[in-house]
Amino acid sequence: MKNRLKVLRAERDWTQADLAEALEVSRQTINAIEKGKFDPSLPLAFKAARLFHMPIEEIFDDEYTD
Amino acid sequence: MNAINNDSQNKKGRGKTATIHLAVWTFTWVFSLALFAFGPKLLWDYDPTFTVIALCINFGFGFKMIMANKHHLSRMDEMQRKIQLEAMAMSLGISMVFGAAYGLIEATRLLSHSPNPSNILFVMGISYGVSVAIGSRRYM
């Protein structure tokens, strides 16, 4: 699944560790999501949407990178 | 962001506590297993009362270790949990396939000695460790 987490994170000058803390997951999980290797659950995707004050579909795109 | 970070730090702390609990109960269980294994011969000369007590202690600590493992799993984030569950599935499957074949090894006269059931634990542990390593690498 494609997503804009890396871009949104960079715009706010956050590290992967910062985002991981905010979303209460490990830094490895953020890295895997950004690389499209792991698809987040719906609750985690909603949490990210709330954090960035954006609709979920503007962060995550249901188009597979593989 | 500060409030989120504080909550996150608390959760991280609880995760570490769960890991420490798991380590403590695993060590305690291993110790009680050693007591059950060597106690009858070395400590109480095969007195069945003490052996049954040692067995009950082993089961009790084993149960605590299982619950600590379950708790530890619930404290992981969703990707870590997925890696662990996939590793457990692999480990269970491999142990079942190996265990079933290994149990027949004497009956089929491939080996002359009786199979030792504790060898299945080694297969289970190794396959679990390898599966966790492969799973972690896959999501790197």
Q: What is the CATH number of the domain that holds A13?
A: 1.10.260.40
Q: Total domain count for chain A? A: 1
Q: What is the ipTM of this complex?
A: 0.87
Domain identity same for B16 and B67:
yes
Q: How far is A39 from chain B (nearest CA, A)?
A: 9
What's the pLDDT at A62?
A: 80
The residue ranges of DSSP E strands in A1-66, in sequence order, are 2-3, 60-61
Kindly state whether residues B86 and B45 are assigned to the same domain: no
Domain stop point among B60, B75, B90: B75
Q: Are residues B71 and B84 in the same domain?
A: no
Chain A: give the shortest CA distance to residue B135, in Å: 11
Q: Percent of chain B having pLDDT more than 70?
A: 91
Task: Quick: pLDDT tens for B26-72.
Answer: 999 999 999 999 999 999 999 999 999 999 999 999 999 999 999 99
Range of the domain at B136: 77-140
CB contact under 8 A, A21 and B5: yes
Rounded (10°) CA dihedral B131, B136, B138, B140:
-170
The residue whose two tokens read 């542990």 is B125
A19-23, B11-15, B43-47, B98-102: least confidently modelled range: B11-15
Best residue of B78, B86, B134 to probe chain A, by most A CBs closer than 10 Å:
B78
Q: Which of B16, B75, B79 to mutate to test the interface with A (most CBs of A within 10 A)?
A: B79
Closest Cα in chain A to B12: A24
How many residue pairs bridge chain A and chain B with CB atoms within 8 Å of each other?
43
Q: Is residue B7 scored above 70 in pLDDT?
A: no
Is the pLDDT confidence value at B3 over 80? no
What's the pLDDT score for residue B112? 80
Sign of CA dihedral A6, A9, A13, A18: negative
Q: Which residue has the higher pLDDT, A40 or B9?
A: A40
Chain B residues within an 8 Å CB radius of A26: 77, 79-80
Q: Is the pLDDT of residue B4 over 90?
A: no
Q: Identify whether A27 is part of a domain.
A: yes
Look at residue B118 in the predicted model and tell me its pLDDT. 85
Q: Which of B3-7, B48-52, B71-75, B127-131 has the lowest mean pLDDT?
A: B3-7
Residue B6: the pLDDT is 59
Long-range contacts of A18-24 (CB under 8 A, 24+ apart): A21/B4, A21/B5, A21/B8, A21/B9, A21/B12, A22/A51, A22/B1, A22/B4, A22/B5, A22/B8, A23/A47, A23/A48, A23/A51, A24/B7, A24/B8, A24/B11, A24/B77
Q: What domain range is A12 assigned to? A: 2-54
pLDDT, tens only, A20-62: 999 999 999 999 999 999 999 999 999 999 999 999 999 998 8
Query: Among the three residues B42, B75, B108, which one is the final residue of a domain in this structure?
Result: B75
